[in-house]
Structures are given as C-alpha cells and as structure tokens.
Amino acid sequence: MAEQETSGLQVLLSTLQSSSDRESIRNILQVLTELLSAGTDRRIHYMISKGGSEALLQTLVDSARTPSPDYNILLPLIRLLVKVGQRDKKFGQKALELEALDVTLILARKNLSHNQNLIHCLWALQVFASRVTTGAMLGINGAMELLFKVITPYSRKRTRIIRAATEVLAVLLKSKSNSRRAVNRGYLNGLLRLHQDWQSHDISNDFIQIRRSLLLCLKHITNIQSGREAFLGAQGMEILFTTTQKYLGNQSMDAILSIVIQILRKCYPKCSLPLATASSYYSFSVPGSISSGPPCIINEDDFEEDGEEEEDQDSDSEETKEEDDDLETDLKKLTSKPELAWTEEEMKQYEAMCLELSHNFQELEFKSGDEMSSEEDRGIHQYTNFCHIPIPTSSKGHCQEGDKSPQGLEREDTNSQDPPLKQMKIMKSTGDAIHEKKISGKLGPYLVSNDQEEHSSRRDELNSQAALKEPPWDIEMSSCIYENTFLPSSTRTDETSVTMSKLLESYSMDVPFHNPYTYITKSERTKSVPGFKVLAFPDFWGHHSPPTSQSMLERKHGVQRAKIFEDIQRFIQPDKVMSRVVFSLDEPWLLQTTDATECLKFFSAFESGNLRKAIQVREFEYDLLINADVNCTQHQQWFYFKVSSMKAAMPYRFNVINCEKVNSQFNYGMQPTMYSVKEALRGRPHWVRVGYDICYYKNHYRQNSAAVGSQGKCHYTLTFSVTFPHNEDVCYLAYHYPYTYTALMTHLDLLEKSVNHKKVYFQHQVLCQTLGGNPCPLVTITAMPESNSSDHLQQLRQRPYQVIVARVHPGESNASWVMKGTLEFLVSSDPIAGLLRESFIFKIIPMLNPDGVINGNHRCSLRGEDLNRQWLSPSSQHQPTIYHTKGLLHYLNSIGRTPVVFCDFHGHSQKKNVFLYGCSIKETLWQAGCTVDTSIFTEDVGYRTLPKILDKVAPAFAISSCSFLVEKSRASTARVVVWREIGVLKSYTMESSYCGCNQGPYKGLQMGTRELEEMGATFCLGLLILQLKSLTCSSQFVAQASALLGSREDILGHQFHR
Ligand SMILES: [Zn+2]
C-alpha cells in the first residue's frame, strides 16, 4: 500500500498542517529546523517535493490569523520558509494561492515598531518578491508604501531593519508595474534624498549594503521611460554625479560606482550625432542602385528607447559568442556545385591573364636579366637580400649586425642567405625571452628614442627644425610637388618643392621597398572620389618597423568609469564644455572663425583619410567624427587623419564618437598608431602604437531610424589620450598601420625592378578597372624556365597554382602588410622562395577593393556594398574585381588547373593572433548537432594540414582560433564560394588581429608591421611544407626541400615518414 511508503517527513508535515496544538507545532518546527540545518540542498528539495512549502505556508497563514499570533511559532516558521522558499521555483505561486502574501504584509504592518518580528516579515517578503507575479501583487497590496515608511526619513537607529527593507524594495522594483507605481507616487525623489543622506553621513563606509540597495532601486526604476524622465526631472544626474565623483578610483567602492555608472549612462538623454547628415560626406555616381538609402536629415524625435540595462564594461569578458544557428546544415547546399555563368567567349579574356601557360620565352636567348642599372634602380637591388622572415626578438632591432638572439646565438645579418628557417626554430621556442624591454604606453618608443638620440643628433635636430619652419610644410610641400605637374606657375610651389627636394637630400631614405619619388608618380594616377591632391607624409616618406615590438597596453582599473564621468560632466556642467568646431568637411566656413593658436589643427583630405569633423570640447580634449563609407550611412571604424599645432608633453584626449562595432580590442590592450614627422626626419620613420587611458564604450548618441532602417542604432566611443613627443610637430593618427593603394602600386613597381629577371617570372597585369577608374593589379610570380626548351617550358606549365588575395575590406590594412610580406618573400633570393617559385605559379590580387582603400572606407566598395558578400553572383558592372577574380579562378578550374590553396587575407577586430577560417562539411554538421549520416560521403581532412603547419612555423599563428564551419551568413564570401563552386578544398580566410597575440613567442605583444610581414612570408613557407606533405610531390622536390629544411625536422614533424 502507498500509505506504507509515507515517509516520516510527510507525517511531520501533515501533522503540522492539521494540528492546532501550539506545543506540538513548535516541536515539529524544531525538528524540521534541525533536519534542514544539518542537511544539504538535497534535503530541502526533497522536502519541497513532499509538499513542504505548502505545509509551511498553510501553517503561517493559520498561525497569523489567530487573534493573538504566537511569535514563538511564527519566527522559526518564517526562518524555515525563507530557507525553503529560496529553493522552490513555484514558491511565489504557492504563497499567492494560500494567501500568505497578505498575511505577511498585515503581520509586518502590525510590527512596525517591533524590530525582531518586523525583520522576519521583511525576510519573508523578500522571498515572495523575488518572483515577478508575486512581486507585482505585493506592490498592488501596498508593500512599497509599507517599506517606504520603514526606510524614511534617514535614520541610523535601525540599520538592520533598513537594510532588509531596502533590499526588499530593490527586489520589488524589478517589476515594471512596481516601478511605474513608484514613479507615480513620487518615490523617486524620496530615494534620491535617502541616497544623498546615506552617502553624506556614512563617512566610514559601514553601510555600503544599504547604499547599494538604494541605488539598485534607482537602477530598476530608471529601466522604464517614465522613470528616466522622473530621474532627470529630480536632478538625478547631478545628484548621483556629485555624490559619487569623489569615490572614482577607489576600488573598494566598486559596488556603488558600477551601479551609479549604469544609471547615469542609461539616463543620459539620447541625441543625434553632431552631423548634418548620417550619409557619407562623399557620394559617387555608380552603375545600378546603391544598397543604402539617400541622404537623410537626422530628426531629434526619432528615437525609441528600449530601456535595456547596460553593464559597465570595466568587467567585461572579451570572448564573443559564436552562434550555432547560423551554421549551414543543408547537405545539398554544402555539396552542390552550381554551373557558373561565364560564356566561352568571356572565358577567353582570362587566357591573357595566364601568359605563363602560352608564352614561349624566346627572349631568354637574348636577355641577360642583369641589365637594369639606371640611376633610379641603383638603390633597389639592396632589397634583394632583405630579411623577409625577421627574427621576432622585440627587444632588439631586426637585421642589425652584432645582435644576439635570446639564446645567445649570433644572429645572421641582413645579407645572409638563409635567414628565415634558421630563425623559425628560435621563434616558436623563445617563450618569454622577448618581453625584456617593454615600453610604457604613455610616451611609446619616444621615451627610449629621445633619451638615446638627444645628444647624438643635435645637427639633425637643427636641420629638421629649419625644415619644420615652413608651415604647413608637409602637406603643402608634397601637394605642391604633386600639383606642380598640373600648375607649374605658382612660386610658392617652387619654394616648397625645393624644400622637399632638400629634405630628401638631407635625410637619408632607407625604407626598404619604398621610394618617395615613385610614390609621387604613382599617386598621380590614383583616382579618388574627393579628388585628393595632397599626400600624407607617412605614405610619401615611408614607414619602417620600429626596432622594438610594443607590448599590449595594460588597462588601469576604472579608466572607463573616469572617462564616462567626464562625458557626463558635459551634460551636468555644460558651461565647462567648449563645443568648438575646429574642423568640418560639412562646414568649412566655421574654421575661419577659429583662433588657430589655441587648438589642434586637423586634416584628412588625403588617400585613406576620413576625418569628417573635430570638435574641441575641453582645452585638451576633442570629439572626432569619422566619415561613413562612400555612398553609405555607416561603417565608421577605420580612421586616419593628420593633427598639428600641438604642445609637447600635454595629455590630449581624443574621442572618436561615431564608431559602430559593439566591442573592440581597444578594451583589451590595443592602441592606435601614430606617425610623427619630426621623428621621421630624425631617422625614425615609424608608425608606432601610442595612447593610454584607452577604452571603447557605448555612448548616448543614436542614429535615427530612417537612416539605417532600424531603430535608434547605437554609437560607440573610442577614447584615447596621446602625449605628443614634440612641440609643433605634425603627427598622423590611424586605427591601424595605413597602407594605401598608391603604396601598393609603388611597392609593385619597386618589386618588379628588384627581381632578378633571370630567375623570377614577375608579371604585373591589370585584372580590371574598378568603379572609381583605378586598375586592380594582378601579379603572377613563378620561376623563369631554365631555358626555352620544350622540356623546361613543359615543367613551368605544369606547376600547380596558388591563389592569394587581400584587402577586400579597406579598413583591414593589416591584410596589406601581410600581403607585402608574402610578395617580398616570393620574389626574394631566399632559397625557399626559389623552390616555391619552381614548384608553383602564384596568382596574387593584393587589393580587391582599391576604391574603398583610396577613399578611406572601412568596409565597402563605392556602391556601398561589402564586396566579401558578393561572391555568389558578382556582376562585371557592379563588382568588377570580384567578378574577374572569380572568373579567373573559374578559368583555372575549367582548364584543369584548380589552385591547390586559395587564401583571402583579412584583419580581425575582435580576436587576437593570426588564424584561418576554412570549410568542412563534417565539422559543420557535427557542430550543428545534425543527425545527417556523415559516413555516406567522405571528406578529405586535408583542409586542416595548412593550419597545423602554420601553427608550428608562424609565431603569431594560433590553430586554437581556427574554425572550419560553413555559416549561412558567409555563403557569399570568397572562402565559401571558392570552396563550393570552384572546388578548392583548401580555401581559406586568413585573419590577422589588429591587436596582438596572447600565445606563442609574441604573447603579450601588439602586432607591428614586422610581425604582419613575417606572417605573409611564413605563409609561403607553409605552402612549401604543405606540398612536402602531399602525396603528389615529386621525389626531386622532396630531395630539394629536404636539403633546405632538413635541419628543421623538429618543425616539420613527420613529413619524411609519410
Ligand atoms: Zn575582413
């Protein structure tokens, strides 16, 4: 019988409910209390399952309703109830049904002056209130009025009671209906007054819990629109700001400060950006309709508030979630290979892009290959032996003589013939040795360089000072040379061009693969939408990686809070803010009224520049607005601008206030980059990481819905402070190391001139014209045939293809630096490069989106499209570079020459390290938890080989960040389309962090251009090892590669035992 199984507990519970004998009730309560005090959660859950909650609630109701309630029963009963109620998910509902809420409220009212009884009632109410429906019901039944009576006015007499009451109130106000009631009854003012009283009287911080609960009450009330309005009306911003400002930086007050910050940010009235329109300042007439709408005036009334809570990002974790529901699980879509639309006629054009397959190399009989010795070329051959995979030892300059590696090995100097692989081993095993000389973020490398150079370069300084007296010499100078070709009459032009020539004569230019004269020549052919006529000095003069790598910036505690308080101060004390527009593309007339001596000067009308507006808000603080992508209303993230007229050693704060990404590596150690012209002229032409007090957070600006088709899109502030190294310098600041289209064209020109044409087949062609009228370069690199004998030609024509592309996203300049490393390595005299050229034909499209790069876009083409979402059906009219890249790949596929590897270089803003995204059907289905029988098809696991190799040989690479999933949202990216439609099994996106590495030898360091270029070179090495591991490679190749890599068996793993 079931009765027999009735446990002792159930007997106790049923007796409790049915008994009216006070003595036995007390006894049972005592037994239950002992039972639960000794036990674990399991006992409580067991009791709940046996109807414990109901029995206790019923006893409460019965006992409380007697004419003279017995508190010897009620108090232990309530303590039990609290214990059980906290673990019973349905406790609220049960209490409601048994009418325990009302009973408890009545009990509390009766005991307002009896501390011990009252606090028990408050504990019970807190448990009831923690369920939404019962919380609302308590509100309706007057719980808040009761609590307010308990906590007001301010008193230090019954702090235990007050603490419990504020805690209940905070829980009750989580319910929106309670918050509304609180607003309607004017409780918000009372809460603010209490907050002020506690804040001012609790000097020794003994009652943090009460103060915290009061703030939680305010936080919940301000989750609703009327709450925020009441808060603003009651001067809540001012009150919270003034009462808590003194605690900034006091870590022990975190519990208070973080809530205050949340309230202040939430209540800061939302407004539109200080811009005339959300659309890009530049528009350009392109074929077809543009994806984003026409220019649109921002309307103040257009915001819809969601009232969502927002956490203080000081404690944010960095990892972003990956969404599984985006995975492509349709096996048909994953495995089908659609027919491509190119006609035979169209395909013919790609024959001309593969001249290596038809060329007969007759010229080999005549040409010696060493003929180039013109004036201009003389300086170029020095790069042939340039160190392509430099040692990562950050504390020392790379390729300097007499340098010691961390192990004490003598390092090979620049002209060594076998630097790369010998060094690789050192790299991956060095570990922490490279951290020796970390550089303070505050002044960056200048701390070091100034100390070192101040004595030795006095003469240089005098010279550069003289040069710097020509204001504003850098822009004018380079622009005038440039304009000179069109307007030769201006005398000023003559002066400045003379200045520039003198500069170039006085200051040696030893930036490898760069030449200012070539840059100027190339820039004349670069077509920009705004018609840029000025060159940015760093692009023209060149950048050389600084001798030391820079560590990531350590974030000081509370930086973001301090910055947000400064933002909020603008609202509270508007008289302390200047709001002086000092630069604006939209309102150029404003600049004439500005007193130029008291503020920085800004400029960005040069290639890749994109500053739209600068507003001075305090003496040393500026709000900056970036231009949207051309023909767009969005994508502000990349920035590049010039700043001058600064004072040295003053902390300037910059706020880029219209960023769009939700989070940024600027919160996790990344710094922006700066180039100082004075430093460059002193022989340090470096882009360096600078800035401190850096953080990235959501601000109070909202974009109106009409402009983006969504409601009140948020904007984010990137804030950083910079201390400039020199007075009256000219500095450039950028999101990341700039790399312009003109820089690419210059580089290709110098590369072509540098190669040994006897050995290297280097073909620079035009893939197509962009919408903006710029040629998109296509480069072919392979080894020259030994002779034009049919055997040698045959060998060349049978080499497998490798296809590498980059910079489809213009803001990802890191991709171009990686590509630079790849190109330089492939044409170099390094024997590994030689073997690579003899083994493969490389087809390289180094910049898929020249127009975007030129015009300072972050993401899009001139049609406002993300070109890496156009690969499924590109059109020759609308996306010519994508159309023809795909066409070329399709052509190679159609003649049976499908590339071994396709790789698209990108930059990643959320993650650290360098890593690959590839494509695997099985991994995708498995990850999505699909039940499809994956054994019915076989999948070559070869897609994992290259990442595994790179993980071993490339210091910045991390296989743990790689992913091989095919997402629906990526169906139209290069990686997925080339894999699925062209059939390239090893089709990848290679992502390089904007920030730095958190593993390997570069752990803790930010990416420099050296590390990026090294990655590009090492990628090629990876291709060689990949070939060595493949079953198709010839025995001759194995012998050659083994001879080159033999001593590197530790790196190569088991390839010799395949
Ligand atoms: Zn990208």
Q: What is the mean pLDDT of residues 674-691?
A: 93
Q: Is the pLDDT of residue 590 over 90?
A: no
Q: Is the pLDDT of residue 369 over 80?
A: no
Q: What is the distance in A from the centroid of ligand 1 to the CA of 809?
A: 5
Q: Is the pLDDT of residue 372 over 50?
A: no
Q: How many CB atoms lie within 10 A of CB 991?
A: 25
Q: Is the pLDDT of residue 1053 over 90?
A: no
Q: What is the distance in A from the centroid of ligand 1 to the CA of 1000?
A: 24
Q: Is the pLDDT of residue 385 over 50?
A: no
Half-sphere exposure of 730 (CA within 13 A, CB side): 22
pLDDT confidence tier of residue 934, bands split at 50, 70 and 90: low
Q: Is the pLDDT of residue 409 over 50?
A: no
User: Tokens in use for 57?
Assistant: 């609630």
Best-predicted range by mean pLDDT among 299-308, 820-829, 1042-1051?
Answer: 820-829
Q: Is the pLDDT of residue 520 over 70?
A: yes
Q: What is the distance in A from the centroid of ligand 1 to the CA of 389?
A: 24
Q: What is the distance in A from the centroid of ligand 1 to the CA of 989?
A: 9
Q: Quote the CA–CA distance of 999 and 19 in Å, as a whole number.
A: 68
What ranges do the domains of the chain cover?
A: 2-270, 451-541, 559-734, 744-1029
State the fold for domain 559-734.
Immunoglobulin-like (2.60.40)
List, for residues 293-315, the tens digit of each pLDDT value. 443 433 333 333 433 334 444 44
pLDDT confidence tier of residue 768, bands split at 50, 70 and 90: very high
Q: Which range, of 343-347, 783-787, 929-933, averages the lowest pLDDT?
A: 929-933
pLDDT confidence tier of residue 912, bands split at 50, 70 and 90: very high
Q: What is the mean pLDDT of the chain?
A: 82
317-332: b (≥16 Cβ within 10 Å) or e:
eeeeeeeeeebbbebe
Q: What is the distance in A from the centroid of ligand 1 to the CA of 611?
A: 21
Q: What is the distance in A from the centroid of ligand 1 to the CA of 391?
A: 27
What percent of the chain clears pLDDT 90, i.e. is strictly above it? 56
Q: Which range, of 15-24, 43-52, 286-295, averages the lowest pLDDT?
A: 286-295
Bond from prior residue into 69 cis (ω within 30 degrees of 0): no
More confident of the two residues 497 and 631: 631
At 290 the pLDDT is 65
Bond from prior residue into 295 cis (ω within 30 degrees of 0): no
Q: Which residues are in the CB-under-5-Å shell of ion ligand 1? A: 809, 812, 906
Q: What is the distance in A from the centroid of ligand 1 to the CA of 839?
A: 30
pLDDT confidence tier of residue 383, bands split at 50, 70 and 90: very low
Q: Which range, of 213-227, 492-506, 559-573, 641-655, averages the lowest pLDDT?
A: 492-506
Q: Is the pLDDT of residue 37 over 90?
A: no
At 132 the pLDDT is 82
At 140 the pLDDT is 92
At 339 the pLDDT is 79
Q: Quote the CA–CA distance of 310 and 1033 in Å, as a whole number.
A: 57
pLDDT confidence tier of residue 333, bands split at 50, 70 and 90: confident
Q: What is the mean pLDDT of residues 922-951?
A: 83
At 537 the pLDDT is 92
Q: What is the distance in A from the centroid of ligand 1 to the CA of 811?
A: 8
pLDDT confidence tier of residue 459, bands split at 50, 70 and 90: very low
Q: Quote the CA–CA distance of 964 and 942 in Å, as a whole number.
A: 12
Distance of CA 917 to the CA centre of its chain: 17
Q: What is the distance in A from the centroid of ligand 1 to the CA of 970?
A: 12
Q: Is the pLDDT of residue 362 over 80?
A: yes
Q: What is the distance in A from the centroid of ligand 1 to the CA of 818?
A: 13
Q: Is the pLDDT of residue 15 over 80?
A: yes
Q: Is the pLDDT of residue 316 over 50?
A: no
Q: Is 97 a catalytic residue?
A: no
Q: Quote the CA–CA distance of 133 and 372 in Å, as a whole number.
A: 85
Q: What is the distance in A from the centroid of ligand 1 to the CA of 908?
A: 7
More confident of the two residues 301 and 677: 677
State the fold for domain 2-270.
Leucine-rich Repeat Variant (1.25.10)
Q: What is the distance in A from the centroid of ligand 1 to the CA of 859?
A: 8
Q: What is the distance in A from the centroid of ligand 1 to the CA of 813?
A: 10
At 621 the pLDDT is 96
At 682 the pLDDT is 87
At 130 the pLDDT is 85
Q: Are 691 and 553 in contact (CB under 8 A)?
A: yes
**Residue among 682, 669, 630 at smallest CA distance from 811:** 630
User: Tokens in use for 557?
Assistant: 């505690």
Choices 3.40.718.10, 3.40.1390.10, 3.30.70.870, 3.40.630.10: CATH for 744-1029: 3.40.630.10
Annotated catalytic residue, options 328, 923, 981, 991: 991
Q: What is the distance in A from the centroid of ligand 1 to the CA of 750?
A: 27
pLDDT confidence tier of residue 701, bands split at 50, 70 and 90: very high
List, for residues 82-112, the tens digit of each pLDDT value. 999 989 988 988 999 999 999 999 999 999 9
At 423 the pLDDT is 37
What counts of helices (H) and strands (E) characterise the chain?
Answer: 43, 18
